[in-house]
Amino acid sequence: MNKKLPVVLSALVLLSALSVSYAYATPVEKEKRGVIVTDAVETNYVDPDQLVLTVSIETQAKKAKDAMDENTEKASAVVNALKAKVNANEVSTSNISVYPVYNYKNKVNSLEYYRAQNEITVKTSKINIGGDLISTALENGANRVTGITFELKDKSRYCNASMQKSLETAKAKAELIANTLGIQIAGVKRVTSNCSTNSYSAYNGVRMLKASAASMDAAGEASTVEVPVEIKKIPMTSTTSVEFFVK
């Protein structure tokens, strides 16, 4: 009888590599002019449209070739099973390695065994099947889940919208100040604006599944692992600072 091992994944926020910035300044003028400086921060929350899952197959043997042969066989099974869930071109091998493992004892390093590792990455727009992909990988030979991340394919499109909103907010603040003080905005001296986005990763919770696929119940049958994966919106934050000339 199969057992279900639910694992709750806690989403962590990791800073994405994308950062869009813009700066503008007018030529230096001899005449001194008054300036209003306003700042604005706008954050939009966007649904992710891409899932990135990385799993690994680890094997060990007294000989390097034996470790790699076993690893290759298991990795092929995992790849084929994952390709049955998503498009074939969305599954790829991202890293392969084999290396010796030594045991240091009595001031002597002795060779214990060789470890082979094969890392497989799935990048798909089917963001709702993360738990199913993890279970499939584990049931077919994977013994480590390196990470699962939710991202945006086109980050710039959402950053542009967030940046436009922050610029409009900075302008509105300047107009409010000018109207209240009875002065007029007479141009822009300097603008700085940047946008950053974050992706959500369920990395920590998934790491605990390393040995789950090999667990056995009292009847000696492999357990079925069901992994609930929570999907959250991705924040897009734009920060803007504008210096306006006034008269």
Confidence at residue 230, expressed as pLDDT on a 0 to 100 scale: 82
In a domain, 54, yes or no: yes
Q: Is the pLDDT of residue 217 over 50?
A: no
Stretch 76-96: mean pLDDT: 95
The answer on pLDDT for 219 being more than 50 is: no
Specify the pLDDT at position 25.
Answer: 58
Domain check: are 164 and 102 in the same one? no
Asked if residue 215 is part of any domain, the answer here is no
What amino acid occupies position 117?
A: Q
Q: Which of 124, 151, 178 is where one domain is finished?
A: 151
Residues 62 and 117 in one domain: yes
Inform me whether the pLDDT recorded for 182 exceeds 60: yes
Give the Cα separation of 130 and 149 in Å (integer).
9
State which H helix or E strand residue 37 sits in: strand 34-46
| Residue 165 CA, distance from chain mean position | 25
Q: Is residue 107 domain-resident?
A: yes
Q: What's the confidence (pLDDT) of residue 39? A: 96
Q: Which domain holds residue 139?
A: 50-151
The verdict on 29 and 57 lying in the same domain is no
pLDDT band at 208 (very low <50, low <70, confident <90, very high): very low
One domain, residues 124 and 57 = yes
pLDDT at position 157: 85
Whether residue 109 lies inside any domain: the answer is yes
CB atoms within 10 A of CB 173: 17
Confidence of residue 74 (pLDDT cuts 50, 70, 90): very high
**One domain, residues 81 and 120:** yes
If asked whether residues 59 and 128 sit together in one domain, one would say yes
Residues 140 and 54 in one domain: yes
Q: 24 CB contacts (<8 Å, ≥6 apart)?
A: 188, 190, 191
If asked whether residues 98 and 134 sit together in one domain, one would say yes
What would the pLDDT profile of 123-176 be if each residue is shown by its tens digit?
A: 999 999 999 999 999 999 999 998 899 999 888 888 988 999 999 999 999 999
First to last CA, the chain: 81
CATH code of the domain containing 141: 3.30.70.2970
Number of domains in the chain: 2
Mean pLDDT along residues 185-207? 78
Boundary (domain end) residue, out of 89, 116, 151: 151
Closest CA to 51 of 110, 134, 117: 134
Both 115 and 72 in one domain: the answer is: yes
Residues 68 and 123 in one domain: yes
Which two tokens mark 198? 């974050």
d(CA 117, CA 54): 13
How distant, in Å, are the alpha carbons of 9, 134, 191, 202 from that of 207?
Answer: 10, 11, 44, 9
Region 78-92: mean pLDDT is 95
pLDDT at 194: 92
In the listed set 151, 169, 188, which residue is the last one of a domain according to the structure?
151
Residue 154: DSSP 8-state? -
Same domain, 34 and 66: no
pLDDT in tens, 100-117: 999 888 888 889 999 999
Give the Cα separation of 65 and 43 in Å (integer): 52
Cα–Cα distance between 130 and 86 in angstroms, integer? 11
